[in-house]
Chain A
Amino acid sequence: MNNNYFHSVRLDKEKCKGCTNCIKRCPTEAIRVRDGKAKIMDERCIDCGECIRICPYHAKKAVTDDLKALDKYKYNIALPAPTLYGQFKGLTDINYVLSALLSLGFDDVYEVAWAADIVSAKIRSLIKDKKGKKPYISSACPAIVRLIQVRFPNLIDNIIDVQSPMEVAGLLARKEAAGKYSLDDKDIGVFFITPCAAKMTSIKNPVGMAKSYVNGAIAIPSVYGMLSSTMKKENVKKLQRSTAYGIGWANSGGESNALGVENYLAVDGIQNVIKVLDEIENNKLNDLDFFEGLACTGGCVGGPLTVENGFVAKNRIKRLVKNNEKVRLSQHQLDDVCKDIAIHYSEEILPKSIMKLDDDVAKAIEKMNLIDKIYDDLPGLDCGSCGSPSCKTLAEDIVRGYASEMDCIFKLREKVKGLAQQMIELYNKIPTGKER
C-alpha cells in the first residue's frame, strides 16, 4: 500500500552507539542493531517515541517542520495542542499563549482544545445512540491506533470513527479562513504545534482519511523559547474558545472526563495500554463503555516533544481545567458546528499484519516449529547483544532470514571453543619427525 511510508521517528546514525536500550524498549519489536547501528523497521514502527525517550545518546529524533515552512503559504494558522498550555510556569490565561503564537508569524490560531470540545460532544452522542461496537476505543492517540492495526486487528472495529481533535481543528480552521478572506485552500497553511511524533506521521500518512487537513507539525521545543519571550500583557488578545473539558484532553483521562461516561478506563503508558488491549481482546472487559489509551505516560503532557516534565505539566493542566469554564457543547451547538462538514472517518482502518511469518499457513506453521527449535538452543538470557531484543526474537529473525545463529555471542563462544579444541587436537597429531 505505502511503499514509501513516512516515519517521523528516525535514527541519527552518527550518534548511535549500537547499544541495546531502544531495541528492548520498543513495544512492537521494530528495532534491531545491525552493523553496530540501530535500524528501525518501517513496517513495524508506530512512531510512539519510546526510543526517543530512552536513547541515552539522543540518537533517535523526530522529524518535524520548522517555522520556515510557513513561507510556502499565504495565510498560516497555528493549531496549538492542549499540551502546549501546560509548558509555561504560572500561566493562568491561555490567551497569552495564543497571542504569542501570532507573534511567531501565524496569521491566526485555532485551538485543538476547542476541537476537542466538539469531538467530545460528537463521541458523546455516538455513545448515547449506541452506535458502533463496545467498548468504544478512543481514536485520539495516533500511536495507539497504529498499535491496534499492528497488534490488535481484532479491535479495529471498536475504534471510534471520529477524526482526532487535530484534524477537526484543521478542517474548521481552513473553512473559517477560506470563508473570511476568500482564500484558496492551497494558500492556507495549517500547522499543528505538537508534543507528539506520531501526530507528524499521521499528518503525512493519515488513518481513516485520504488526506490530512493539516500541512505540517512544529515541535513544541522549537517554538517554546520564542513563545516564552513574546508572552506580554500588552500583546494579549482574546482568542480562547476552548472550555475546561477540551483543555483537559492533554492529560490521561481528560477525554473520558469530557465525555462524561461513567464506565470508562483511561490508561497511559504504551506497555500498560498493551496489557489492557489484550484483556479487551479476550472479552474480559465486556462491561466497559469507553477505553482511552494513550501511549505516553500521563497522556499527551508526557509526549516526547515537550519541554516541561510531564508530571509538572499535568499539574498545570489540572489547574487550568479548574480555572476554566466547565460547559459541555449541547447537541444543538454540535449540529450547528458540524452542519456542512464531515468529521467521521472517510476511509476504513485496515489491519497491518506485520507479525505473520508466511502468507501460507502451512509454511508459517513449519517456520513456527523451527523458531521453537532454534529458541530451545539459545541461552535464554535476552541480553540483546545479537541486536535482537530477546532470544525469542532472534530465533524469529533467523527464520525470517534477518539474522544467523552466530549473531548470538554465546553460540559464537561455543563455536570458537569447539574450533580451538579441534586445532589443539590437530596440533597434537602433527608428525614430530621433522622439525622445521
Chain B
Amino acid sequence: MKNNKPSIKQTFDISAGNFSVAGSASSRIKNMLKRIGIDDKIIRRVAVATYEAEMNIAIHSHGGTLCIEIFPDVIIIVAKDKGPGIKNVALAMEEGYSTATDEIRAMGFGAGMGLPNMKKCSDEFDIQSTLGVGTRVEMKMYNKE
C-alpha cells in the first residue's frame, strides 16, 4: 500500500519457544495504538490478532518477525516465520484444529483457535505457507474514520 499519508512501522523479532517474553510485542503495539488514538474496538482486535500471531511463531516455528505498519486509515500486520510451514492450510483455519504438542497444550496453548481468531479479528486476511520454509500471514484492519 503506497500512499502519501504518514505511517509508522515497527518490527519485532520473535524467538521460538520463548514464552516468557511472548506477548510483549502485542502489549507494546497496544500501547502505541492507544497513543495514536485508534478506535478502542480496533485496538482490541489488533491486540488479539498480534498476540495470537506472536504465540503461533513462538509455538510452531523456528522464529520470525511481527511487523506492524499503521496508516491513518489502515493497519497492516505481517507475521513471518521460518519453520516447518503448514501442511494443510484449510484444515489449520478450522476452529479447534491444532498440531500443538501435548507439552504446549499442558501450558494452556494449542486450542486450535489461533488462526481462526486472527482471521476473525481482521478485515482482510491472507496466509501463505510453504512446507519446510515458513509461513507468512498478512492481516489488515481498516480504521473507519
A binding-site residues for B, Cβ under 8 Å: 151, 153-154, 278, 281-284, 351, 353, 355-359, 361-362, 364-366, 368-369, 372, 396
Interface size of B as a range: 20 to 34
Whether A365 pairs with B70 at a CB distance below 8 angstroms is: yes
Whether B40 pairs with A361 at a CB distance below 8 angstroms is: no
CB distance from A260 to the nearest CB of B (A): 25
Stretch at the interface among B12-20, B26-34, B76-84, B132-140: B26-34
CB distance from A41 to the nearest CB of B (A): 15
Q: 29 A-B Cβ contacts within 8 A? A: A151-B34, A154-B40, A154-B41, A278-B30, A282-B26, A282-B30, A282-B51, A283-B44, A283-B51, A284-B51, A355-B31, A356-B35, A359-B37, A361-B36, A361-B37, A361-B38, A361-B72, A361-B143, A361-B145, A362-B5, A364-B35, A365-B6, A365-B7, A365-B72, A368-B8, A368-B35, A369-B8, A372-B8, A396-B35
Specify which chain B residues have a CB less than 8 angstroms from the CB of A356 in the assembled complex.
34-37
Given contacts A282-B23, A282-B47, contact A362 B72 (CB under 8 A): yes
Q: B70-105, CB under 8 A of A: which get 1 and which 0?
A: 111000000000000000000000000000000000
Q: Give chain A's interface secondary structure class.
A: helix
CA distance A361 to B144 in the complex (A): 11
Specify which chain B residues have a CB less than 8 angstroms from the CB of A372 in the assembled complex.
8
Specify which chain B residues have a CB less than 8 angstroms from the CB of A278 in the assembled complex.
27, 30
Specify which chain B residues have a CB less than 8 angstroms from the CB of A366 in the assembled complex.
6
B57 close to chain A: CB less than 8 A: no
B59 close to chain A: CB less than 8 A: no
CB distance from A294 to the nearest CB of B (A): 22
Given contacts A282-B48, A282-B51, contact A357 B36 (CB under 8 A): yes
B binding-site residues for A, Cβ under 8 Å: 5-8, 23, 26-27, 30-32, 34-38, 40-41, 43-44, 47-48, 51, 70-72, 117, 143, 145
Whether A153 pairs with B35 at a CB distance below 8 angstroms is: no
CB distance from A15 to the nearest CB of B (A): 33
Specify which chain A residues have a CB less than 8 angstroms from the CB of B36 in the assembled complex.
356-357, 361, 364-365, 368
Q: Which 7 A-B pairs have the closest CB atoms?
A: A356-B37, A361-B72, A364-B36, A362-B72, A282-B51, A365-B6, A154-B44
Given contacts A282-B48, A351-B40, A361-B36, contact A369 B27 (CB under 8 A): no
Whether B37 pairs with A357 at a CB distance below 8 angstroms is: yes
CA distance A43 to B40 in the complex (A): 19
Other contacts beyond A282-B48, A362-B6, A368-B32: 10, CB < 8 A? A278-B27, A282-B47, A353-B37, A355-B31, A357-B36, A358-B37, A365-B6, A365-B7, A368-B8, A369-B8
Whether A355 pairs with B35 at a CB distance below 8 angstroms is: yes
CA distance A282 to B52 in the complex (A): 9
CA distance A357 to B41 in the complex (A): 18
Specify which chain B residues have a CB less than 8 angstroms from the CB of A368 in the assembled complex.
8, 32, 35-36
